Structure 1
Amino acid sequence: MSFTEIRIDPQSAERMTKQGLRLQRVDTADRVAFEAWLQADARGFHGERIAGTQLEELVGQTAYRRTSGVWDDTAAEPETPIATVSSWPLAMTVPGDKQVPAWAISSVTVAPTHHRRGIARAMIEGELRTAAAQNLPLAVLTASEATLYGRYGFGPATQGAELTIQTRRAGWAGRETAGRVHLVSLQHIHRSGREILERAQLGSPGDVTLDEQLWGELVGVVGDEDNAKQNRAVRFDDADGVPQGFAIYSVKHSEGENTERVATVEYLCSVTDDAYAGLWQYLLGLDLVGSVSARLRPVDEPLLWLVANPRAVRAAAVNDHLWVRILDLKDALEARRYSAPGRIVLRVSDPLGFADGRVLLAVDDAGVGTITALESDIGVPDATAELTLGVSELGALYVGGVSAATLARAGRLTDVQPGSAIAFDAAFRSPTTPWLSTWF
């Protein structure tokens, strides 16, 4: 059975039925019904009404997703859902250059006319039960509101920052790279850049695989037509001519009387350090450009160490980005690799019951972890760390984006045995700062 055919969670459906509402899947082959759902989704995020080529692209490229909604048959337009959600399986990178299957949840909207009726809760908890029934160890999402998803057991696992670089002040202090930059079209990147992206993602814990719609939006060849007109692309090849990175950017006039232009890096992807440095050197050297901005960059950006004047680089709008929800302790914790051996007992509380329990994580010298379930009355062996924490906190810690010591100081977890948080951090540390490079 295709995942799009998985039935609606009966518990959530019953909850909506008691309110005179219908929670059900959309038949994406039904053009009228699917378009009504797409328009409701756009309305929920205060977007423009979808039309023309963009509508055709969405209909054609997102029909494979499991698309659901809530309908109110007493509404003035009962054919339009008053709430939306979509979901699909993807792979998320975890430390150790490995990927773990996860359930992506997106397009969560509820019309203002139906707030405070438990509709979002019914949809999200239903998606979690659906993912758990499919034996998926994780659910993931990107959030427009930072206060909503913690109540469902999600934790903020990665952050993103917006950079602004004053190019005249920055200078370049990086080494010369062995390779070259090529000017290419967006269509060229769309055809051949995905293989580069997938190699780069394996080294970036927290990044996720993209479907065709998200890939096209990232490159700028689908969705907003202005992107196709304004965006430019470059590709970096190493000394052997192998493509190792690409960047997509636009250049616009700055506001006011300043004649210098502002370049915006829409996306920069690099497999190697040379590709990273070569692409940034190109972008900071653009003629007639006074500043370069880059959205959704890692909070530990190596660029700061490639410029001669790091004060010319300003980081702003540091926000949570990827939210992770652990559904299966054993599968999730055994899927990743660890940076130090050790034995850690985790007592995890999960109000929804998916990941509630007490387990022993034993990490060997190769960084491989093994989970053993423990009864609550079994004592902790000597030289074993022990932490008590909620499933939201474990989701935040999962790929190494925050330290247990930090959460302990904030009162978000309990360091049962002295030094346990330090031992946890030694094992869970990621050599590369976790980062989700796009939205979904």
Structure 2
Amino acid sequence: MFDRPLRTEEVPLARDADTGAASGGYAAWLNTGWEGFHQQPATADQLEQMLQAHEIDARVLTGVYDDSLPADLVDPLLPVATYASFAKTLNIGAGLVPAHLVTLVTVRPTHRRRGILRRLMTGDLARAKAAGFPVAALTASEATIYGRFGFGRVTEQQTLHLDVRGEVGFHAAPVGSVVQVAPSALAGIAPRVFEAFHASRRGSVGRQEAYLRHATGRWGQEGPDPDPKLRAAVYRDDAGEIQGYVTYAFDGWDAKPLTLNVRDLVATGDPARRELFRFLSRIDLIERVSHPYAAANDPLGWALEDPARISYSGRQHGLWVRVLDVPAAFAAREYRGSGNFTLRVSDPQSLVAGSYAFEIRDGRATVTPVAGDAPADLCCGAPALGPLLLGACGVGELVSAGVLETSGAAPAATLAALLDLPGVPHAINGF
């Protein structure tokens, strides 16, 4: 428990019995969380919209309260810290695994350095492990916070800028067709297209309800209000099947260069993605197309006759993963060939500390805890497990970075041949 007078409580997703509006406790929790990210207080309609989305996501909300604050100055319903979690899936290469997602973590500046975040996080991760989740994940606004809780960076993202002045040439001939649609038409399309992408892309994390509301224009970029500027298009393959969609908005006549901002672009494969960019490049009165959430190794430059048309900005970390169950998580991963090795993990939170024997046969592994302190081929702390699991970088790179140590009989090159994966993991959404 927190040192008195702090207390922690689950905040119910509830409505007032008389008015049907979001309860005062929910409103206070949400507004405190929004304040932590410098957003304005929610209107009554925004509260209702957020409550609906959180109910669909089955979010678990937690607030920390300070009963010593003067009630004549501070509403007792206002927490001094917020924390939320919900369940989705994470693609780790060979398939999807259940993932415990952490979001909207805030602590008021008046209550820093009191161990609030540590107690919230450690308790929640322990419960997630007990509930059978092999991994937890979050998207961090500050990169230095979550490593101490065992999270490791597994994806990077950047904004891709495509210069569309003049004719943009592509090496490949056009295939399929693009159809412009009203954003509302994506209600039955966006979830299906995303699930196909999610099943095929290592590093992808399941989407919350907010993404569907954004895609259909019910919510704008800044919050749960309609977005009249939003436009949309879908890509159909030669058989007429929809294999991708894009939503976008004009940045305004004052922007220099005149820019079309991609809000969301989801494609089931490379042809769909390429053709959606071809469509965007042909929109009149536009000089640049900007696309956030581009991968660190985005392939679009190879598709263009003039790769100098592409530039990037805002490269930053994306998804962070915390392994909660080494055997379950790593048995669901893909490998190369066959071989054996032992991994030893140190973990101050004791969630995954210990040694594990890996027996790999034809690209799949059986992972078994090992008792005692026998020599291990690989040694690391809990934060290194996330990038190792997702293949965010090679074994050699992790060794060079000093976060992975090799010892024992298996040399680094042998372990790399088993563990290294092609490409990089990529997630196209946050939470």
TM-score, normalised relative to structure 2 = 0.92
The aligned residue for residue 29 of structure 2 is 37
- The one-letter amino acid paired with 1:369 is A
Q: Aligned match of 2:150 in 153, 157, 167?
A: 153
**Structure 1 residue 217 displacement after superposition:** 3.2
Q: Give ranges in structure 2 of 5+ residues lacking alignment.
A: 16-22
Paired with 2:305 and 2:45, the residues of 1 have a C-alpha distance of: 45
Pick from 384, 405, 415: which aligns with 1:414?
405
2:47 to 32, 52, 55: 55
List aligned pairs for 1:162-173, cutoff 5 A.
162-168=159-165, 171-173=168-170
- Which amino acid in the other structure matches residue 253 of structure 1? G
Do the aligned residues in 1 keep the contact of 2:375 with 2:408 (CA within 8 Å)?
no
Distance change >3 Å, CA 169–CA 425, structure 1 → 2: farther
- Cα offsets for 1:124-144 (capped at 9, x unmatched): 111101101101111110000
Give secondary structure in 2 for the equivalent of 1:299: coil
Structure 2 equivalent of residue 230 of structure 1: 229
Q: Is the 8 A contact 2:235 2:275 kept in 1?
A: yes
Aligned to 1:5: none
Deviation, 1:118, is: 0.8
1:430 aligned partner: 421
Please name the residue that 2:20 is paired with: none
Aligned pairs for 1:195-210 (under 5 A) are: 195-210=192-207
Deviation at 1:116, TM superposition (A): 1.0
**CA shift at 1:191, angstroms?**
2.6
Displacement of 1:363: 1.5
Q: Does 1:129 align with 2:121?
A: no
Alpha carbons 1:170, 1:308 under 8 Å: kept: no
- Partner of 2:62 in structure 1? 68
Report how far residue 426 of structure 1 moved: 3.1
CA 1:227/1:279 → structure 2, altered by over 3 Å: closer, same or farther? farther
The CA deviation at 1:19 is: 3.3
Q: Which residue identity does 1:74 align to in structure 2?
A: S
In structure 2, distance between residues paired with 1:377 and 1:208? 35
The answer as to 2:22 corresponding to 1:26 is no
Contact 1:340 1:363 in 2 (8 A): yes
Residues 21 and 72, structure 1, Cα contact 8 Å, conserved in 2: yes
Question: What are the residue-to-residue correspondences of 1:329-344 with 2, within 5 Å?
Answer: 329-344=326-341
Distance 1:379 1:147, change over 3 A: closer
Indicate whether 1:247 and 2:246 are aligned. yes
Return the alpha-carbon distance in structure 2 between the equivalents of residues 299 and 170 of structure 1: 26
Pick aligned residue for 1:328 from 325, 329, 344: 325
Determine whether 1:405 maps to 2:396.
yes
For the aligned residues, what is the CA RMSD? Answer: 1.9
SS in 1 for 2:227: helix
Identity of aligned residues (%): 31
Q: CA deviation at 1:95?
A: 0.7
Contact kept in structure 1, 2:190 and 2:215, CA below 8 Å: no
CA distance 1:234–1:419, shift in 2 (3 Å)? farther
Q: Shift in Å at residue 334 of structure 1?
A: 0.7
C-alpha contact (below 8 Å) 1:54/1:222 kept by paired residues: no
Q: How does 1:34-433 map to 2 (within 5 A)?
A: 34-63=26-55, 64-75=58-69, 76-96=74-94, 98-168=95-165, 171-222=168-219, 224=223, 228-253=227-252, 255=254, 261-365=258-362, 367-378=363-374, 386-417=377-408, 420-433=411-424
Give the partner amino acid of 2:337: A
What's the CA shift for 1:55?
A: 1.7
| Amino acid in structure 2 at the alignment position of 1:198 | E
CA distance in 2, matches of 1:439, 1:332: 21
Q: CA deviation at 1:422?
A: 3.2
Q: Conserved in 2, the CA contact under 8 Å of 1:207 and 1:435?
A: yes
